[in-house]
Amino acid sequence: MKNIEESITIHYTKMSKTDKAIFEQILAAPKKFVGLSIHDLSKDLQVSSPTLLRAARKIGYSGYPEFKLALEEYVREEKISLASPSETLLTSIISTYEKSLAGLKEGDLEKDILEIVDWMNEAADIKIIGIGNSALPAQQLVYSLYSQGKFYEAITTETQIYFLQQALNEKAVYFIYSVSALDYYENFIELANSINAKTVLVTMNKDAKINSKPTKTIVLPATSTFLRNDGSLRQLDMRLELFLFSEIVSYYYDWITDKQKKSEK
């Protein structure tokens, strides 16, 4: 079941002011709304039923019944991250980032990273893909590798992706950065799979349909949304984890490469 707070984080940039107002009220007092019909919840939130349904679908739920069950689970597991009354805005921001970093640490990704680095060392080429909000983390990996003395290309437009699809290399590794794991990439991944090229999807959406398609999918924590003391919903830049992952991969790549060079002497 999709966690409501994570779903809001992943799809935050798609939300309208009305959507944000809906989820502000729900997250501020989730127990109050558990079990309500769409009609009753709409009435309490002072919006129409279609507006509430659209908001639920916008953050990844198939309809109101799934959202209703997710809210029940959210309350049952007490996954509620309201700012403490004693917290300042500064400490709320820092606490939210600390939560994200703790989730990344608990993810135990080292085995996956080592395998990815092995692929990179054996690859004839590496392409790093990301469009929209995910373009900067893709470029960060390019920069991080460049600082280690390696240069690879960032693919940051749909036009570039279209032409890249026509020239896929079976000996290449293709990184795909996508916060929400866009279905848009499904065709690209299937084409890469058809020639046995390696694909690595880096996302924050653990429930995405395409997660099973790449050679490896890395799901980073989505914990960047919080409620301020005034009840307003705010989101920090969720790409922090993506930037950090890029730096970690670069560091491991340099470390493993250096070890191999020393062993060959």
**Can you give the three-state secondary structure of 194-212, one letter per residue?**
HCCCEEEEEECCCCCHHHH
Report pLDDT for 185: 97
Does the pLDDT of residue 83 top 80, yes or no? no
- Mean of per-residue pLDDT scores for the chain: 89
Residues 55 and 19: their CA atoms lie apart, in Å, by: 5
**Rounded CA gap, 127 and 176, in Å?**
9
241 and 138 part of one domain: yes
HSE-CB at 94 with a 13 A cutoff on CA atoms is 5
How many domains would you assign to the chain? 2
Over range 109-129, report the average pLDDT: 96
198 against 2, higher pLDDT? 198
Q: What is the DSSP letter of 132?
A: G
Q: How confident is the model at residue 77 (pLDDT cuts 50, 70, 90)?
A: confident
CATH code at 60? 1.10.10.10
pLDDT tens, 1-33? Answer: 788 888 888 888 888 999 999 998 998 888 999
* pLDDT (0 to 100) of residue 125: 95
Judgement on whether residues 189 and 121 belong to the same structural domain of the protein: yes
Tell whether 47 and 116 lie within a shared domain: no
Residues 243, 176 within the same domain: yes
Asked if residue 85 belongs to a domain, the reply is no
Average pLDDT over residues 221-236: 66
101 is a domain residue: no
Output the pTM of the full model: 0.81
pLDDT for 96 equals 78
Q: Rounded distance, CA 176 to CA 141, Å?
A: 11
In this predicted structure, what is the pLDDT of residue 227?
57
Beta bridge mates, 200: 175, 216
* Side chain identity at residue 200, one-letter code: V
What stretch of H or E contains 104? helix 89-106
Question: How far is Cα of residue 202 from the mean position of the Cα atoms in its chain?
Answer: 7
| Residue 95 is assigned to a structural domain of this protein | no
Distance separating alpha carbons of residues 115 and 210, to the nearest angstrom: 21
Q: Do 147 and 238 fall within a single domain?
A: yes
Residue 92 lies in a domain: no
Query: Can you tell me the mean pLDDT for 59-84?
Result: 82
**Domain extent for 14:** 4-80
Residue 71 sits in the same domain as residue 201: no
